[in-house]
Amino acid sequence: MALLDILCFPDDRLRTRAKPVKTITARHQQLLDDMLETMYAAPGIGLAATQINVHEQVIVIDISEDKTEPYCLINPVVISHSGIETMEEGCLSVPDTYAEVERADSVVVKYLDRKGAEQKLEADGLLAVCLQHEIDHLKGKLFVDYISKLKRDRIRKKLVKQQRQM
C-alpha cells in the first residue's frame, strides 16, 4: 500500500476529464487500495483518481463513522436524480475551504465494483452529495465552480500564496 500525493486547486491537472476503465487489472486493484489508504489518512470521506493525477474513472468513498464501509466505484454514472439540497462541502484538493453547494438530494448511480460486476447504488443525504462531488472530479469539475467567481478568485489567491510558502 502507498500514500499518494493529492493535487491542489488551482492545479490545471484537476481539470482533466478521466477516461473510462476498459479492463479492470491488478493495477486497478492496487490503485483502489492506495486510494482508500490515502483517503483514510487525509482524512476524507471520498477520493477521485483525478485528485491523485490518475485520469481514469475510479472513485472511493466511505462515509461511515468507523471507516468500515468502503465503496469502490469504477466508471460511475448518475442514471437518475431527484430533489435539491444544500450542504456545506469541503475538498481535499481545496484545503481549509468550505462552501454551500446545491445538488440533487437523491441519486441512483450505476458503476462497476472492484470485481467488475455491475452495481446500482441508491443514495441520499451525505452519500448522495459525496457521489456527485466525486463524479464531478472525474469530469474536471470542483465544488468551487458552483460559487461566485469573486469568491473562487479569493480562494485561488489564498491557496497559491499558501503553496508558495510550502
Nearer to Ni ion among residue 24 and residue 142 (C-beta): 142
* Cα–Cα distance for residue pair 97/149, rounded to 1 Å: 15
Residue 153 in 3-state DSSP? helix
* Cα–Cα distance for residue pair 153/147, rounded to 1 Å: 10
91 binds Ni ion per the rule CB under 5 A: yes
Annotation marks residue 88 as catalytic: no
76 interacts with, out of Ni ion, ligand GNR, none, CB within 5 to 8 A per kind: none
Q: 26-38 as b/e, with b when 16 or more CB fall inside 10 Å?
A: eebeebbbbbbbb
Which of 8, 38, 46, 123 is in the footprint of ligand GNR by CB under 6 A?
Answer: 46
# residues near ligand GNR by CB under 6 A: 16
Nearer to Ni ion among residue 145 and residue 153 (C-beta): 145
Q: How far is the CB of 49 from ligand GNR (least distance, A)?
A: 10
Q: Is 111:25 a contact under the CB 8 Å cutoff? A: no
Span of 12-20, 66-74, 86-94, 149-157 interacting with ligand GNR by CB under 6 A: 86-94
Please list the active-site residues.
Answer: 134
The footprint of Ni ion (CB under 5 A) covers 91
